[in-house]
């Protein structure tokens, strides 16, 4: 009886220990956050000093695994002396950097908290695709998607990852990525802030011990994320992709966990999602170290909702407009794009029509509001001084959505002002069209006003929404 009680309480104590760790990690995160990485776009030269500094830290081992196509070094940082080897690799896609930031936060934690390493050895490849990171693009310097190069191994970066896994015979692998912020958890308006997958290793999607262990770790990580982003965890499709690294590393005997960092409202630089990576990855590492995952049933894995892709930055509903003397009512899905050099935001109409099965980070109901494409300010401008005298918000209130220049000055082409900039030539071309275009063209940067009783509620300028209801 005593032995049975011990066996019963051990998993409960282990899970309680993991919960305490994740709570303290979340509360104390700012202590460990790497201060030199604050934005998603950074390069190999930004992290090299951080890696170099780790060479002087007790317990850390840094070695160069090889070079990228453009001769940038690819490093692996190891720490720990346990028999269980865990390999974590990030930024095999150059523009997927959220977990890379979290890895350097984890290093800061491990400098002060080595007890977690008693039974494991960690091996990190923070930036597998430094050439892609240099230009913040997905693919490597010769245009190959490294995550579709596991079989042919055409790229040096792919060979490096394969050799690292094989030399370590890693027991666990964390495949760290970013996904679009427009993924949502299935049948909800919540973004898939974190998505997980225990990749299949064959077309039958069989579940052996290797894949089962990955599922168990994911169940624990999901439980942690639910505390901080409830309902915002998705499950990636497990359709077998024979060319992909995750699928093959699972097949080669390493329990592989795919983590995809998606979107979170008002977190364009993914700093909160970075924090979630930090907390959940360290909790997973502890679980592997103390083997708390072993007693988990995999039934809960399929309860994680699937990823879907039905989010827009802004969803308008019930936009009523007139075209060629007939009335129409549509929904609009608009995605915005920030032009970094000028902090200027535009948006494109991605979809229109009945979007009742879609969602928005922001949803605006146009029912009862009057649609108007607006007017051009009657005075033609010739310089920025004349423009700077205008109160653009007042112009919007008066129904003006654009100003016209005889020619646009270079320093105003991407204005931060809430008004559309046009040239005389733009206006002439518009007037010469015998049959006008619909005011809400798919793929266009829409400009229109929504009013009620003569009062302006919303102005949409080049697809970016200005809210006048606040």
Residue pLDDT, tens place only, 326-336: 999 999 999 99
Q: Which candidate, 157, 194, 12, places its Cα nearest to that of 75?
A: 157
CB atoms within 10 A of CB 75: 21
pLDDT at 7 over 90: no
- Mean pLDDT over residues 412-440, rounded? 70
pLDDT at 64 over 50: yes
d(CA 196, CA 109) in angstroms, rounded, equals 24
> What does the pLDDT read at residue 433?
54
Share of the chain above pLDDT 70, in %: 91
209-228 and 271-290 helices cross at what angle (nearest 10)? 130
Residue 188 φ/ψ, nearest 5 degrees: -135, 165
- Mean pLDDT over residues 426-430, rounded? 63
Cβ pair 319, 366 in contact under 8 A: yes
Distances (CA, A) of 303 to 174, 292, 300, 386: 21, 20, 5, 60
> What does the pLDDT read at residue 8?
47
CATH class of segment(s) 312-467: mainly beta
DSSP 102-115: HHHHHHHHHHH--G
Q: Where in the chain is the domain with CATH 3.40.630.10?
A: 2-308
Options 2.60.120.200, 3.40.718.10, 3.40.630.10, 3.90.1150.10; CATH for 2-308 is 3.40.630.10
Question: Over the stretch 107-121, which tens digit does the pLDDT of each residue have?
Answer: 999 999 998 998 999
Q: pTM of the entire structure?
A: 0.92
The rounded mean pLDDT for the chain is 92
Question: Over the stretch 323-365, which tens digit does the pLDDT of each residue have?
Answer: 999 999 999 999 998 654 445 678 999 999 999 999 999 999 9
> Strand pairing partners for 352?
332
Instruction: Place 160 in a pLDDT band, splitting at 50, 70 and 90.
Output: very high
Residue 431 φ/ψ, nearest 5 degrees: -70, -30
> What does the pLDDT read at residue 341?
46
pLDDT at 410 over 90: no
> What does the pLDDT read at residue 385?
83
Cβ pair 32, 109 in contact under 8 A: yes
Classify 36 as helix, strand or coil.
Answer: coil
384-388, Cβ contacts within 8 angstroms, sequence gap of 24 or more:
384/409, 384/411, 384/412, 387/412, 387/415, 387/417
Structure-token pair, residue 195: 């998505």
d(CA 311, CA 305) in angstroms, rounded, equals 15
Q: Where in the chain is the domain with CATH 2.30.40.10?
A: 312-467
In the block, tokens 């370590």 appear at 168
Structure-token pair, residue 107: 């290093």
Angle at 234 between CA 229 and CA 236, to 5 degrees: 150
Least confident of 208-217, 368-377, 419-428, 454-463: 419-428
d(CA 349, CA 324) in angstroms, rounded, equals 21
Cβ pair 99, 180 in contact under 8 A: no
Taking every pair of Cα atoms in the chain, the longest distance, rounded to a whole number of angstroms, is 91
> What does the pLDDT read at residue 337?
83
Q: Which residues have CB under 8 Å from 168's CB, separation 6+?
A: 85, 87, 123
> What does the pLDDT read at residue 346?
86
> What does the pLDDT read at residue 264?
98
Question: Over the stretch 259-290, which tens digit does the pLDDT of each residue have?
Answer: 999 999 999 999 999 999 999 999 999 999 99
* The pairing of beta strand 84-90 with beta strand 120-125: parallel
Question: Over the stretch 174-223, which tens digit does the pLDDT of each residue have?
Answer: 999 999 999 999 999 999 999 999 999 999 999 999 999 999 999 999 99
């Amino acid at each position: 009886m005593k032995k049975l009680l011990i066996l019963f309480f051990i998993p409960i104590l282990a899970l309680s220990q993991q919960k305490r760790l994740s709570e303290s990690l979340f509360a104390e995160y700012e202590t460990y956050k790497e201060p030199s990485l604050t934005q998603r776009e950074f390069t190999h030269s930004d992290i090299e000093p951080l890696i170099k500094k780790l060479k002087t830290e007790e317990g850390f081992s840094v070695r160069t695994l090889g070079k990228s196509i453009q001769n940038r070094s690819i490093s692996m940082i190891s720490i720990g002396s346990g028999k269980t080897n865990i390999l974590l690799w990030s930024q095999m896609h150059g523009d997927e950097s959220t977990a890379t930031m979290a890895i350097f936060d984890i290093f800061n934690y491990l400098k002060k908290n080595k007890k977690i390493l008693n039974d494991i050895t960690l091996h990190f490849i923070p930036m597998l695709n430094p050439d892609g990171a240099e230009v913040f693009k997905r693919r490597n310097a010769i245009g190959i998607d490294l995550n579709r190069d596991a079989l042919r191994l055409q790229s040096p970066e792919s060979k490096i990852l394969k050799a690292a896994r094989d030399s370590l015979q890693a027991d666990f692998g964390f495949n760290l990525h970013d996904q679009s912020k427009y993924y949502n958890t299935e049948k909800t308006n919540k973004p898939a802030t974190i998505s997980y997958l225990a990749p299949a290793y064959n077309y039958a999607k069989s579940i052996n011990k290797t894949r089962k262990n990955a599922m168990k770790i994911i169940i624990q990580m999901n439980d942690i994320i639910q505390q901080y982003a409830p309902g915002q965890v998705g499950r990636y499709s497990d359709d077998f992709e024979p060319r992909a690294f995750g699928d093959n590393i699972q097949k080669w005997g390493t329990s592989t966990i795919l983590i995809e960092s998606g979107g979170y409202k008002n977190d364009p630089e993914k700093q909160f999602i970075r924090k979630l990576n930090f907390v959940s990855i360290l909790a997973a590492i502890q679980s592997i170290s103390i083997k708390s995952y072993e007693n988990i049933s995999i039934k809960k894995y399929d309860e994680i909702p699937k990823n879907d892709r039905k989010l827009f930055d802004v969803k308008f509903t019930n936009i009523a407009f007139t075209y060629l003397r007939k009335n129409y009512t549509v929904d609009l899905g608009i995605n915005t794009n920030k032009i970094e050099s000028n902090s200027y935001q535009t948006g494109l109409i991605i979809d229109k029509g009945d979007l009742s099965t879609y969602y928005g980070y922001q949803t605006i109901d146009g029912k009862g509001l009057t649609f108007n494409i607006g007017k051009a300010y009657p005075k033609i401008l010739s310089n920025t001084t004349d423009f700077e005298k205008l109160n653009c918000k007042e112009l919007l209130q008066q129904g003006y959505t654009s100003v016209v220049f005889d020619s646009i000055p270079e320093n105003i082409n991407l204005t931060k002002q809430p008004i559309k900039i046009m040239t005389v030539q733009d206006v002439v071309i518009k007037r010469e069209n015998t049959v006008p275009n619909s005011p809400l063209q798919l793929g266009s940067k829409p400009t229109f006003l929504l009013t009620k009783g003569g009062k302006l509620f919303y102005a949409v300028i080049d697809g970016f929404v200005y809210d006048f209801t606040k």
